[in-house]
Amino acid sequence: MFDSMRTVILVQTSPQEDVSRYMILRLKELFRLPYYEQLETNVILPPENISTTSLRQLTQKYNADLLLVPIVKHWSWQQYYLFAQDEMIAEYNYHLAIYAYDRQKDTLTIYSTRNFSRDEASVLNQPPTILRNAMDQLLKELPYKRIPTDIKHAATAL
């Protein structure tokens, strides 16, 4: 392990929602060894209980450096038939957020993305693609990268 390894907790707000589960999965891909250690917890935190104080307490309890909470504020994807134009239409609308608490800085930052679109069903026919694009956008906003650029690595003597 690196001296500068960070410990991360990913907390759910809803136990079995598909979109929330996908967001956690994408975050787990980002926070991997050797730079990050993920702590597994059974903590489920309702969105209304998220505050700097509550996240600070969780990071202290688990001795974690970062705590991230993905939140699905809104997600809808539907298809319907327009009789007047004789075509199938798909429509999506989402608002996703990641609440990130950094224990070292004692800051809570919210990163979010939202979008709405309506098009022919042949164009917007894959909800996973829409969700993947939304998460790509969120991950670009996060300052935490696969290989951290803000951690000074100790030189090792040979």
pLDDT digits (tens, 9 = 90+) for 51-97: 999 999 999 999 999 999 999 999 999 999 999 989 999 999 999 99
pLDDT, mean over the chain: 88
Tokens read off for 53: 């104080």
131 Cβ contact list (under 8 Å, min separation 6): 19, 22, 94
Sheet arrangement for strand 6-10? 36-39, 6-10, 66-82, 87-102, 107-120
Name the pTM for this structure: 0.85
H helices present in the chain, as ranges: 18-30, 52-62, 127-141
In which band, very low, low, confident or very high, does the pLDDT at 155 lie, cut at 50, 70 and 90? very low
* Phi and psi based region of residue 106 (left: phi greater than 0; alpha: psi -120 to 50; beta: remaining): left
Do the strands 6-10 and 107-120 form a parallel or antiparallel pair, or are they unpaired?
unpaired
Cα gap 67→41, rounded to integer Å? 11
Domains of the chain: 6-141 (3.40.50.10610)
pLDDT digits (tens, 9 = 90+) for 1-50: 455 688 999 998 876 588 988 999 999 999 988 889 999 898 999 999 99
Cα gap 71→13, rounded to integer Å? 7
